A and B are shown apart, each in its own frame.
Chain A
Amino acid sequence: MAVFLQSLISGILIGGVYALIGIGLTLIFGVMRVINFAHGDILMVGMYLTYILFTFAGIDPFVSVLISFPLMFIFGGFLQKVFINRVLNAVAQNQILLTIGLGLIMSNTVMLIFTSDYKIITTSYSSSTFQLGGGVSVSWPLLISFLITSAITAVLYWFLLKTDTGQAIRATAQDREAAQLMGINVKRMSIIAFGLGSALAGTAGALISPTYYIFPQVGSTFTLKAFVITVLGGMGSVVGATLGGVLIGITESMSAAYISSGWKDVVVFSLFLLVLLLKPSGLMGKSRT
């Protein structure tokens, strides 16, 4: 029972960060129908930003979210305005090539500056835990990152559901042309959506940096993970990505505990295939007609 509870709790905690990554990707896809293959690389840039702030300015990784969120928002908005807005009406393969290319440029630029050595951020709490009782222990950095994730997700939901700009983003995702007829500047919405998606990915990068190796190619793992989460939850669905993230987190930690950590990806992808077989549009997805 202790093992079960332990892995359930760890799974939920890490799943929160996964959700953040997935929400970012799904938001971008929902608004622009562009699949962002640079998503993991944007997360990687967020990790290095955290690393720089920690190493050169001594700013705690969790506190640095306050700086990296707006910086990554601006970075994402810039990418959208300068590059991606130009290919919105292009064929899908051109959009894919563009985002893959942007990702390659990011990872190689980082490699040029920092070399491909692994970096780690060691904080006083990096490996500290506390006992929950019953033999279950919770890692402090995971718990803090989960709390930050929850707060950001809550604010994001409020923004999308209650504010005019948030509703305009959803309207653009549901019917771009009709949104234009409402007087919504859809290019601006795209910039905000890509900025938000990047800020969420960058924040996820910051949050995992105390517990994860930082290296220029780390992004590809997360791009793949983000796809699994998003497709599992239903492309374009923010609720689906939240669910998908937590589900993948739990599945990973359960399979690591009960089978072996080497097999966790096998279990995750099997679950993924199973869901797609039973519900091809994803958990919260609507079949598009």
Chain B
Amino acid sequence: MDDQEFRSFYENTKADGYRLAYSYLHNESEAEDVLHDAFLRFYHHQPRDQEKARTYLFSIIVRLSLDRLRSQRKRAVQHKEEKEPASKNDYQFLYEAIDELGAKDSSIIRLHYFAGLSLQEVAKAAGLSLNAVKKRLERARKALKEKL
């Protein structure tokens, strides 16, 4: 991917990438940081198969978002910090319910619903089989339905 193609890739994926990061972090500046770091990593370690570019980028965003959440938790434990309140919006209850799902199940919900990936793409990004994704999605939706 040359610079021009990369710019176009950036323009086409930034919104979904931002939504994905935001669905984890619930914080605008944190989501922007993750998105920037993800594109930076992507640029320097591009997949050979350009068809996988989108799912590869989103898998980087997932990893970076989870890393950031872990270090936030670690920092909070070490310094006994109060967790910074997340940005409130009308769907806070939904984010909280998704956060309570297992790590993989919630990632699948986020990749599918917030990043707009098809189930095939979710399977590639999450490193799971399509059947496993379907099973997990079904379970996650059932859990969300019951919670809400």
The answer on A and B forming one complex is no
